[in-house]
Chains A and B, each alone.
Chain A
Amino acid sequence: MKLYEYVLRRLALLVFVLLALAALIFYITRGLLPPAYALTQYVTPRMTSAERLILAQNLGVATSSCPSYAAFATSAKGCIVPLWGQFFGWLKTVLSGNWGYTVLPGYVAGTETTWNVFWVRFPYTAELAIGGTILTIAIAIPLGIVSATHANKAPDHASRVVAISGYSIPQFWFGYILQVVFVLYVALNGRGLLPVGGPLPTSCAICFANPGSVVTRTGFPVIDAILSGNFPYFWDSIVGLILPTVTLALTTIGALTRILRSSMVDALHQDYILLARSKGLRDRVVVYRHALRNALLPAITIAGLILAFLLGGVVVIEYVFDFPGVGQAAVLASTSFDLNFLELYVLVTAVIIVLTNLVVDVLYAKLDPRIRY
């Protein structure tokens, strides 16, 4: 099988998974609640009953034969479209980008769409997640290698403790601990060394606290700062990311380190390592050229899982650090019953994770000559 055929097949599977997930999410957010809930984010306060009925019919929740909104609201017989029918109505609505108005706190009812709110917040989360990924890879891979090459010696034990502690630490707690430390105990002239809240810190010893003139072009603070040539803003955005990304990366560093260590230890015990050593190659060549190439393969297959970890972690991190991303909004959305926001969040995250897995599998095939699609 050719690579493109494989990719096509995987994409078909991906569409299936996303559809099934959409159905699951639809069932949870709509099927488990009375049908009238479906209208919540589409009605404006001044809508009449007749308009509401038409809306319910347009959204595919009420049947066209439904006599009145009252009948619909009380789920009268013959008024409600069966659930699977509702699903397609819902799918049509949301696929056209219509996710209704947000009911998140801080927005006047019926003025801002869920879609906009999500995408304004998303770049903040993306920066956080990307920062977390980079930090994870930068620390976990060297740590895993050192661990494996010194298996059962002091560096291995140390890295094991670091890794296991990493994924045993409650992220929300560690976030606060960092805040306590950087405000109460590590400070310059009475100001905490690193910013502890929000992407744009206002009180910290090493940041400039100068939003200045930044034109929002991409929505990504770091990128916009570069595009606007505003160095203080750029610096502040980066500094503002430090504590959240460190907290975020903590759990994944541990997981990746342990996996890399075990696959590396495994690789180092393989016969081909004995052969490589018998050839008189230097240890460096044996470890990096012969063992690591093989050991990375199992490690990268869990990239999807790690990404899911990270994207789940942002909910907590953003909440703790008062970071205006989608994760923080998810908690708010839950209390204010903004179900459409949660639906959108779940599906976008799923698309990212599934696509990442596809990329990883293609990469795997490129790295492992034994795999032919």
Chain B
Amino acid sequence: MAEALLQVQDLYKWYPIKGGLLGRTNGFVKAVDGATLSAEKGETLGVVGESGCGKTTLGRTALRLTQPTKGQILFDGQDITSLKGRKLKPLRRRMQIVFQDPYASLDPRQTVRSALTEPMRIHGLAKGRAEAERKALDLISKVGLNPDHLARYPHEFSGGQRQRIAVARALAVSPDFIVLDEPTSSLDVSVQSQILSLLKALQKDLDLTYMFISHNLAVVRQVCNRIAVMYLGRVVEMAETESLFRSPKHPYTKALLASVPIPDPKKRTELAVLEGDVPSPVNIPPGCRFRPRCEFATGRCAEVSPPMKEVRPGQRIECLYDIDFATRKKTEL
């Protein structure tokens, strides 16, 4: 097994809901509620799930953009769970993030040149203007834009170009690890594939590790080596991409995959419909959190919170049973 660059152990991120007479805490939004996963050096780890499943919070907490409530985050062997202030700065150089909305993630009053050189200034990575300029030129060509784009402002670019700038800015500090938070979901399909190809190429050239957060299973299938499926703040299944898509083991993964329409009318089948909505992360059902929507749920599911277990080499699920979906036969794990 390859070396893990990022390890997230039993991570919790609860946001308090304030209210009441004295502003006391009435409850928590349990955005991340005991998630465990790891990203190995050089791989692309996909994190998928529906809105509100905590995938974005997980990404941000892993980068220490927020303070986790509980749990442990190891980056390259170092425990970074409770680093604060200045101690985080060296970490910021090694970890970066690319956001969903490239326009909003760029300061509208900053030229591309300034956006690219600012991180270098912050971390003292370029000696003098000339070197910064040279590095900026290098970056801009790396992401497929022209040198004369450096003098422009974000609003002068198309969506795809803006995302290229955001990627270039992330690369400005030569990081090892980049969280890609829905990097293509605000883009058009024909442009989406350009960005995906760019990200793949950059990973190869610069030996990057990606955490690719997405709700789009089709995209995830094309770019990720391994995938973590999240549901209500927990990773419910983790597996190599191909085994996950060929034979998902968690009933949620199974339902999720079956509800994606396939762009081929010949393969038109009745979409499997998972009834109900995703429950709110405030009132998480006890026991297995997927139980209320699960067609295989038993009495035990309400009582026991299933631990993560390996069903097959490299494929782990948080479910009490190993279910054969064809025969609906359950084997206790």
Contacts and interface: CB of A to CB of B under 8 A. Distances in A.
Interface stretch (A1-9, A145-153, A297-305): A1-9
Nearest to A9: B21
B222 to A, nearest CB: 33
Contacts of B20: 1, 5
A8 B20 CA distance: 10
Interface in A345-373: 373
Interface string B43-74: 00000000000000000000000000000000
Interface in A8-67: 8-9
Interface string A108-133: 00000000000000000000000000
Interface residues of A, number: 5
A9 B20 CA distance: 9
B19 interface: yes
Interface residues of B, number: 4
By secondary structure, the B interface counts as loop
A9 B23 CA distance: 9
A8 B22 CA distance: 10
Contacts of B21: 1, 5, 8-9
Q: Which of A1, A5, A8, A9 has the most CB of B within 10 A?
A: A1
Interface in B9-28: 19-22
Contacts of B22: 9
B21 to A, nearest CB: 5
Contacts of A8: 21
Contacts of A9: 21-22
A373 B22 CA distance: 12
B5 to A, nearest CB: 43
Contacts of A5: 20-21
Nearest to A373: B19
B20 to A, nearest CB: 5
A11 to B, nearest CB: 11
Contacts of B19: 1, 373
A108 to B, nearest CB: 51
Contacts of A373: 19
Contacts of A1: 19-21
A373 B19 CA distance: 7
A203 B120 CA distance: 80
Nearest to B23: A9
A161 to B, nearest CB: 33
Interface in A234-265: none
A1 B25 CA distance: 11
9 contacts: A1-B19, A1-B20, A1-B21, A5-B20, A5-B21, A8-B21, A9-B21, A9-B22, A373-B19
Interface of A: 1, 5, 8-9, 373
Closest 6 CB pairs of A and B: A1-B19, A5-B21, A1-B20, A9-B21, A8-B21, A5-B20
Given A1-B20, A9-B22, A373-B19, 6 more contacts: A1-B19, A1-B21, A5-B20, A5-B21, A8-B21, A9-B21
